[in-house]
Amino acid sequence: MENRNVIRFAFTVGGFTMLSRFLGMVRDVLTAGVFGTSLAMSSFVVAFRIPNLFRALFGEGALSSAFVPVFMASRRSEGEAEAWQLARRVVTLVGAVLLGIVALGAAGMSAALRWPGLGEEAAAVLPLARIMLPYVFFICMAALAMAVLNSYQKFSVSAFTPSLLNLTWILAILFIVPIIRGGPGRQIYGLAWTVFVAGAVQLAYQVPSLLRVGWRPGLDTDWRDPRVKKVFMLMGPSALGLAVNQVNVMVNSMIALFGVGAWAPSALFYAERLIYFPQGILATALGTVLLPVLSDFAAQRKHREMREAIHHGLRTLLFVMTPASVGLFVLAGPVVQMLFERGAFDANSTVLTARALAFYAPGLMVFCLAKVFVPAFYAMQDTRTPVKIGLVGVSLNFTLNVACALTLPEYWRHAGMAFSTVIAEGFNGLMLAFFLRRRLGPFGLRGILGGLARALAAAAAMAAVAYCAERALTTWLYVYLPHKAAQFIGVPAAIALGMAVYFGIARVFRFPELGFVMEAVRAKKRQKAAGPVA
């Protein structure tokens, strides 16, 4: 696949991912108005980490990354029938394991709830986690289905699937949560049941597309198949790394809840959601597209093409992520106030969330590194190297988080924890780049750093314009409009003006990365004229 097609497919996925992020932003705005940064919301955030742990292990993380290269190699060398046989065997085994985890987990949580002297925070988290635990089965099966569809370059269906969680969540906040009596402490249970239902919806939605590419329902318990063993051997080191990482995320949430304050996990959650919005537009999309593309190159030992795809992807990502990072750092307060400050989300919630967002914002320039480098290792069926590096990064993150929780002023501790994540992810990305270069050879570091320097210079000018414009516009609009209306006009207008400055500078000074983006957009228009991608 040509580089322009990689970026074009990334924009296809990115368009649907943008829709999901937009719907996610709507859901978060509605959720913030109902629950704010209350103990109920923080308990939900911590409880929701548990199914997300298993999704990373058995769904879109370790298993998918190990499954796709083996599945594609089987298709290429053995044919479609043998590849689908492998898929059925893997799905049967994973489904059995997940159902066992759900049953044991529910029983363990029920027993823990009877423990005498259970604290208020734990008593709030465990019932919610028990309700959402079956989501593990549905979302992991859905993630495996997404991996299969991506291997057939059916990116659109799998990219739209996450939107179904957000749509279900929005409907629940609008029509179900308001009719539940008993305040936030009871209403949050309605949200937990919504997550359960959304998992089943996400899985069911992909079934027609799976049937069209050749999947047929059925179980196959021949797990002695060497290909199945290969998938799980590849998965093992990655699963270990992701397990440590996800457990670390859970521990960090618990540190925030038990060691910082009942508001801290919620404030970090809302800040993370704002970070994920620009990251999902292209970074997550490009990582999704790169895995099958690089797997195909690796199977044919086309290392030069792999290097070119990595170089092209990194320059495009940094060109897009740098202004997003700088812009969110400068406008953290106005953005949080505009989106979230209403109802239960008061001015204190705004200050706390904006602090976390400002400290998360630089991470947009480093979070994208793993989205490019890790698929390259997985494509070469090397899951050990990212794990070894990741373990060091996780340890660094955990150490810094504990230090922040113990040493910083009370209402800055969570912000320090956010910046700890940025430092650890930066270390992880740089180490991945170092070891990947040793495997594949140089992938144009000078061009990548040159593009980053140009992007930072243009983003600095953009930030100055956006900051001054936001203050001037909202101050002027406050005279004529209600504050919320003034914010919804002034803040987006300042962002649009800043973007115009950034892309204007890129055009005047002929940044090559702008050409990459425009080429992908033109290719997508040509593809639309010719017919749908998938």
SS (HEC) of 109-176: HHHHHCCCCCCHHHHHHHHHHHHHCCHHHHHHHHHHHHHHHHHCCCHHHHHHHHHHHHHHHHHHHHHH
pLDDT band at 372 (very low <50, low <70, confident <90, very high): confident
The mean-pLDDT minimum among 30-34, 103-107, 157-161, 451-455 falls in 157-161
CB 494 within 8 A of CB 470: yes
**Residue 409: which region, alpha, beta or left (left: phi > 0; alpha: psi -120 to 50)?**
beta
Chain centroid, CA 142 distance in Å = 16
C-alpha–C-alpha distance, residues 34 and 56, integer Å: 29
**519, burial (CB in 10 Å: exposed 0-12, middle 13-18, buried 19+):** middle
Residue 345 backbone phi and psi in degrees, to 5 = -90, 100
At residue 222 the predicted structure's pLDDT band, cuts being 50, 70 and 90, is confident
309 touches 293 (CB < 8 A): yes
CB of 390 within 8 A of CB of 432?
no
pLDDT-derived band at 180 (thresholds 50, 70, 90) equals very high
Helix (DSSP H) and strand (DSSP E) numbers for the chain: 19, 0
Dihedral class, residue 399 (left if φ above 0, else alpha if ψ from -120 to 50, else beta): alpha
How crowded is residue 411: how many other Cβ atoms within 10 Å of its Cβ?
A: 16
In whole angstroms, what is the distance from residue 289 CA to residue 365 CA? Answer: 19
The overall average pLDDT reported for the chain is 86
d(CA 243, CA 416) in angstroms, rounded, equals 23
3 state DSSP class of 342? strand
Our measurement of the distance from residue 234's CA atom to the centroid of its chain's CA atoms, rounded to an integer in Å, reads 22
Amino acid at 328: L
Q: What is the DSSP string of 179-198?
A: G--S-HHHHHHHHHHHHHHH
Number of residues assigned to the chain: 534
Answer whether residue 68 shows pLDDT above 60. Answer: yes
Strand partners, 342: 345
Q: Burial code of 83-107, b = ≥16 C-beta within 10 A, e = fewer?
A: bbbbbbbbbbbbbeebeebbeebee
- Record the tokens describing residue 342, joined without a space: 């209403």
- 299-306 long-range Cβ contacts below 8 angstroms, 24+ apart: 299/69, 299/72, 299/73, 299/76, 303/440, 303/441, 306/376, 306/379, 306/440
Looking at the DSSP bridge assignments, the partners of residue 345 are 342
Q: What pLDDT score does 131 carry? A: 96
CB atoms within 10 A of CB 457: 13
Q: Are 206 and 158 in contact (CB under 8 A)?
A: yes
| Per-residue confidence (pLDDT) for residue 532, from 0 to 100 | 44
For 43-46, the CB contacts below 8 A with 24+ separation are: 43/121, 43/124, 43/125, 43/128, 43/188, 43/257, 44/128, 44/188, 44/191, 44/192, 45/253, 45/265, 45/266, 45/268, 45/269, 46/125, 46/129, 46/250, 46/253, 46/254, 46/257, 46/265
Give the tens place of pLDDT for each residue, 280-318.
666 655 655 665 677 777 777 788 888 888 888 888 888
Give the residue-averaged pLDDT of 37-66.
81
CA angle, 110 then 116 then 117, to 5°: 115
Q: Which of 156, 186, 193 is nearest to 171 (CA)?
A: 193
Cβ proximity of 375 and 291 under 8 Å: yes
Cα 196 to chain centroid, rounded = 19
Cβ proximity of 483 and 337 under 8 Å: no
pLDDT level of residue 218 (50, 70, 90 thresholds): confident
Q: Where are the beta strands (DSSP E) in 361-492?
A: none
Residue 241 — very low, low, confident or very high, per pLDDT cuts 50/70/90? low
Amino acid letter at 303? H
CA distances 481 to 178, 215, 338, 469, 473, Å, are 29, 56, 14, 17, 12
The mean pLDDT of 209-223, rounded to a whole number, is 87
Q: Check whether 379 has a pLDDT greater than 60.
A: yes
| C-beta separation of 144 from 59 below 8 A | yes
pLDDT above 50 (res 43)? yes
pLDDT digits (tens, 9 = 90+) for 400-450: 999 999 999 999 999 999 999 899 889 988 999 999 898 888 888 888 999
Written as six digits, the tokens of 72 are: 């594609």
